[in-house]
Structure 1
């Protein structure tokens, strides 16, 4: 789904919204940066299993926010990691974290819109292009994103995406068992509300944001059309935070529907490769 005409407005509004929320996120319990500095790993267990050993690999993380996932891959042995995000305050935090944990020599962070990644990044391609966890929702043009991501995959490398399942967009927080929204939504989702997912009651000023509810079919088709070979598409019954009030947190740290309730796809992950 393409809406290139809306892109400049999207980028500037969304950037202002994210810039303002960076200090709030950096101080939040959810991101727990003190715990991260002490060694906490941000990579989800299914991601680690699906991506595999990253020792000696070059990895780029698109839309990296404050870089904690990016740096976790460096801690897992990646030879070089590069994080890219359009928010300078977020990148400033990421650079500070890299210095704090002694990884500034193997981690580089770049301020750029994701659509301009090919021109902004220090290398032309990478063994692993990693992204997701709430990233695609903010992009107006999924085909252009897929073309950009695919262009960064080195021969023999792959794109790995882990995201919230778009099927969940049909539900609302207050009615998570009844479909209320159109899954096939052609128009942008425009919101103008204060707060953040780390603190719904936070008082914020830059609240206008634009999003696009891409379908799973649109996302997968765009990746394949960009020239990558789909290796797998996995749907998961777990998610990483309480997206709906009736989800319960298990001993493994994931949220899921309670026993006795029908299981629904809460996240998905995919791997798409470029032949060597």
Structure 2
């Protein structure tokens, strides 16, 4: 656990550096977002369903674009993230847009100490669980904050992608979680590869069986598991955009699963 704390602090520092870069990036396109464009993708919009009037907990929300997009659709959203800078910016955006979202700075594993209540929906998406070493603790947090009969939803990059090196030329990392961190040091960030950011980051890969078993063990049962051969984002090296507007790895188009989604319901009255 002591080592995990060191990993979390290193990652928190990294995301504090990334946040201002992301806010300025074309990737996040803040002018369009501020003008009313949703940051959500068709995958989650189609699968989560109506949110108007529902309470939503958004885990690992970054600087709140998706949280605020759900709030624009009528959800009562609480977003949490480990990054101080991201939460600061999320609160400022919420104020500028005159929305009613709440943002809490917390390590996900410490959330019981920093937040009260239960929610109709717990939501997380794209590049989140890879920062967590233990999905049993993750599922425990979801169970704690999700109302009986409530919906958990995740859209996430497929664990097969994280097995490859940066150029997708060879497999270098395990599919299964070994509980030892995958340590990488890259320059820039997916939203701006030229950004002056260079720091080690610590991550963990989680196979689909691990994800589903962690949820089921808490009585949160999937309605579906969907896998997609494309990404909504141009966020990996060597991607090409198809006629459908989605992104795939050049030379491996439609050969790799790139995204998966799970919608699950918590048993109870």
Pairing 1:97–2:90 present: no
Pairing 1:254–2:258 present: no
**1:237 aligned residue (210, 226, 229):** 229
Pairing 1:192–2:188 present: no
Cα deviation code 1:221-258 (max 9, x no counterpart): 11111221121111111212235555422355321367
> 2:254, 2:111 → 1: CA distance?
40
Pairing 1:46–2:40 present: no
Pairing 1:119–2:119 present: no
Matched-pair contact (CA < 8 Å) for 2:167–2:238: no
> 2:146, 2:185 → 1: CA distance?
36
Aligned residue in 2 for 1:109? 103
> 1:88, 1:165 → 2: CA distance?
28
Matched-pair contact (CA < 8 Å) for 2:121–2:153: yes
Residues 240, 143 of structure 1: alpha-carbon distance in 2 compared, 3 angstrom cutoff: same
RMSD (CA atoms): 2.0
> 2:57, 2:173 → 1: CA distance?
34
> 1:26, 1:41 → 2: CA distance?
15
> 1:147, 1:120 → 2: CA distance?
15
Residues 170, 38 of structure 1: alpha-carbon distance in 2 compared, 3 angstrom cutoff: same
Which structure 1 segments of 5+ residues have no match?
Answer: none
Structure 1 runs, 4 residues or longer, greater than 6 Å off: none
Matched-pair contact (CA < 8 Å) for 1:6–1:140: no
Pairing 1:88–2:84 present: yes
Aligned residue in 2 for 1:32? 29
Structure 1 residues 163-172 or 235-244, which shifts more? 235-244
Aligned length: 267
Q: Residues 109-188 of structure 1 correspond to what in structure 2 (within 5 A)?
A: 109-121=103-115, 123-176=116-169, 178-184=170-176, 186=178, 187-188=180-181
Q: What's the TM-score once normalised by structure 1's chain length? A: 0.90
SS of match in other structure, 2:44: helix
Residues 240, 76 of structure 1: alpha-carbon distance in 2 compared, 3 angstrom cutoff: same
Q: What's the TM-score once normalised by structure 2's chain length? A: 0.92
Matched-pair contact (CA < 8 Å) for 2:184–2:200: yes
SS of match in other structure, 1:137: helix
Aligned residue in 2 for 1:222? 214
SS of match in other structure, 2:216: helix
Residues 46, 56 of structure 1: alpha-carbon distance in 2 compared, 3 angstrom cutoff: same
SS of match in other structure, 1:83: strand
SS of match in other structure, 1:64: coil
Cα deviation code 1:134-168 (max 9, x no counterpart): 00011111111111112111022111011000011
Matched-pair contact (CA < 8 Å) for 1:162–1:267: yes
Aligned residue in 1 for 2:5? 8
| Deviation of the 1:171 alpha carbon | 2.1
| Deviation of the 1:47 alpha carbon | 0.6
